[in-house]
Chain A
């Protein structure tokens, strides 16, 4: 009896092992590239190889997938690994030297800039906006196809001071619409997110009187419907007549998208309007030469600008220790800001391509990347 038990056990484990071996033949869509030594040539056009490691913003993750896939067709021997640890974690890991570049929804703060000196040497860091995603205020209201909302009204709705669709404040923005007597259900993100951070930042900047909260990645107002992720918000808004929420424009789907008051007019979210506001924003003074951290003009009154956008930076060193890393960063970032690269991100993540002005500015930083 004992012998037969053993035999059966062996058979079982052999079967198990062979299943595992069968499964371990590798993913069909991943090439077997190993990071080797870099080519001697530098600059665009030449064949590069190696592995580039980045980490940070999860908002960029989908775009980064597009970039990695697109870049793979340009430089097949380069593997780009991006770890969506969150913006804070990405900056932390980059400053600690764990990664080659960081993706971050916010620029480095003073303290981090000081650390960056240690990480990258005196020539400092580059910070450039490479990812712009318009955030739409989406709503679900039967019979209302066009909705205008001034910043104060948006803040009032999301702060739950304006609780009914027939509120005079909404009516004032929409003199022509027939607004129903229906309670408003504001929908917000339940998870810590860059979208919430940027949305609250906009509200705090553009409607400070109606929005008493600090900008934060965690939604500050209790009592709204809270949903997980952008898709959660979109489906929660879609589920209830009278619901309103904020989500990436690319994911708004069939929902109504509100026009947001900018100056005297109401602007619909679009890739162009989002890129325009970034272009019109001031670069923060007193930082490094290639540090293009911007003070986003959330309270812009300029025509055709859409101020509710999520911008995400790429942060890296101007001077890397190794030639190979410098070449890889330079080449990859060059691809990212190229029209082709921005289009890849737009396809993958629905982002807004950066404007030509911004591209020129960012290119100057990329040209400066060296190894030393």
Chain B
């Protein structure tokens, strides 16, 4: 919107631009680009003189380019426009800086993770594996089982709470639930793990490690996410639909089940999927509640289970002899984790597209 508004330079600077250049001292569109190109050339020169380093090159270019744009703009357009251009440069740089970790992380994980991204990794566990080979079958299954359990615990509770908040709730209870759900989103994941441990220790004695404990810990993290997203979505359901249903004499609970939820199903699906994506990569709570094992354990109610994030952690920090094999496995596990999370994000988007009722928006 702002870009469409052409501004007139008021020309308050001491060095007012000569009137023949674009009327009132406005830099041509290509001017900033030219500045940065010049800066790049200069940076190359500097790099040749001192040490050639791609990072330094980029830094020099950005800094010099920004200075050049500012100075030239200040001379030609005055200090107000110059400040504006400076801020533009800074804001773009900020965004560029944020891209550095994203790109480098993706590159690094894919490069190192591709090493062991093979059939054996998905088909074998670590039982009896020494040195080369082995896989994360047990960890992948463990992650799936625990995540499914977590979802089975969190979605009913979260959804019902959201229904309460939107359809029934009023007064103090509603306010306090809303507030504490918000607060709950901020619980550190390790504290959730300690909670599950403290809870189960009372019944099973110290040193207990169970898959279900991990599911309980993750539920503490997942429930508030489900509540928040479901609440937002349920609020979007037009009141007319509810009123129409009531007018037909449909009881409220059936209205919610048959009218409100089907209308919001796309949003709910998206929300739940994103909530799963949020907890599937959690490591710390599983580290203290589920532990790690080398063999496949598919029973979450007995003994330790392996999970992908914890597996990655231990393979990286406690590899066997020689260490490189385990470290490769760790990176591949990290790659699979990222793929799982990204996949879930894509699924969430697909759900919101495919299942979206034509009535909403």
Contacts and interface: CB of A to CB of B under 8 A. Distances in A.
A and B in contact, CB less than 8 Å: yes
Interface of A: 1-2, 5, 8-9, 20, 23-24, 26-30, 58, 61-62, 65-66, 68-69, 72, 81, 83-85, 89, 92-93, 96, 191, 228-232, 234, 250-251, 347-350
A181 to B, nearest CB: 25
Given A28-B120, A30-B295, A251 B323 contact: yes
Given A65-B128, A72-B128, A83-B304, A24 B319 contact: no
Contact of A65 (B120, B141, B294, B323): B294
Given A5-B262, A29-B134, A81 B295 contact: yes
Tell me the interface secondary structure of chain B in the complex: loop
Nearest to A229: B317
Contacts of A61: 318
Interface of B: 120, 122-131, 134-135, 137-138, 140-141, 144, 205-207, 209, 262, 265, 291-296, 298, 303-304, 316-321, 323, 327, 354-355, 357-358
A251 B320 CA distance: 8
Question: Shortest 8 CB-CB distances between A and B: which pairs?
Answer: A229-B317, A69-B128, A27-B125, A27-B137, A28-B123, A228-B317, A29-B124, A348-B130
A28 B358 contact: no
Nearest to B303: A83
A349 B318 CA distance: 11
A65 B293 CA distance: 11
26 contacts: A2-B262, A5-B262, A9-B265, A9-B355, A27-B123, A28-B124, A29-B125, A29-B134, A30-B295, A30-B296, A69-B128, A83-B303, A83-B304, A84-B292, A85-B207, A89-B206, A89-B207, A96-B205, A231-B316, A231-B318, A231-B319, A231-B323, A232-B317, A250-B321, A251-B321, A348-B131
A250 B125 CA distance: 24
B124 A27 contact: yes
A362 B273 CA distance: 56
Nearest to B207: A89
A165 to B, nearest CB: 27
Contact of B144 (A20, A69, A350): A20
Given A27-B296, A30-B296, A81-B295, A349 B262 contact: no
- Of B128, B295, B298, B316, most buried by chain A (CB within 10 Å of CB) is B128
B127 A27 contact: yes
B130 A231 contact: no
Contact of A348 (B122, B124, B320): B320
A68 B128 contact: yes
B124 A230 contact: no
A317 B318 CA distance: 30
Contacts, number: 101
Contacts of B131: 348
A370 B269 CA distance: 60
Given A23-B141, A30-B296, A65-B126, 17 more contacts: A8-B354, A9-B355, A23-B140, A24-B298, A27-B138, A29-B128, A58-B318, A65-B129, A83-B293, A92-B206, A93-B207, A191-B317, A228-B317, A229-B319, A231-B317, A231-B323, A349-B321
A81 B144 CA distance: 23
- Of B124, B294, B303, most buried by chain A (CB within 10 Å of CB) is B294
B265 A5 contact: yes
Contact of B127 (A2, A29, A350): A29
A23 B144 contact: yes
A66 B144 contact: no
A112 B280 CA distance: 40
Contacts of A251: 321, 323
A228 B262 CA distance: 50
Contacts of A24: 141, 298
A9 B206 CA distance: 43
A327 B152 CA distance: 43
Contacts of B319: 229, 231
Contacts of A5: 262, 265, 355, 357
Nearest to B292: A84
Contact of B320 (A2, A62, A85, A89): A62
A92 B140 CA distance: 30
A145 B323 CA distance: 23
Contacts of A68: 127-128
A40 B141 CA distance: 37
Contacts of B138: 27
A81 B355 CA distance: 47
A85 B150 CA distance: 24
B4 to A, nearest CB: 39
Contacts of B294: 65
A228 B137 CA distance: 25
Contacts of A228: 317
A350 B128 contact: no
A159 B292 CA distance: 34
A68 B318 CA distance: 19
Contacts of B293: 83
Contacts of B296: 26-27, 30
A85 B294 CA distance: 13
Contacts of B316: 229, 231
Contacts of A62: 130, 320-321
A92 B204 CA distance: 13
A350 B323 CA distance: 11
- Of A72, A84, A228, most buried by chain B (CB within 10 Å of CB) is A84
A228 B316 CA distance: 9
- Of A228, A230, A231, most buried by chain B (CB within 10 Å of CB) is A231
A91 B321 CA distance: 26
A30 B205 CA distance: 31
A89 B291 CA distance: 13
Nearest to B258: A2
Contacts of B321: 62, 250-251, 348-350
B124 to A, nearest CB: 4
A27 B357 CA distance: 42
Given A5-B355, A26-B296, A30-B296, A69 B130 contact: yes
B34 to A, nearest CB: 43
A116 to B, nearest CB: 17
A66 B354 contact: no
B298 to A, nearest CB: 8
A83 B206 CA distance: 15
B248 to A, nearest CB: 16
A66 B294 CA distance: 12
A350 B291 CA distance: 24
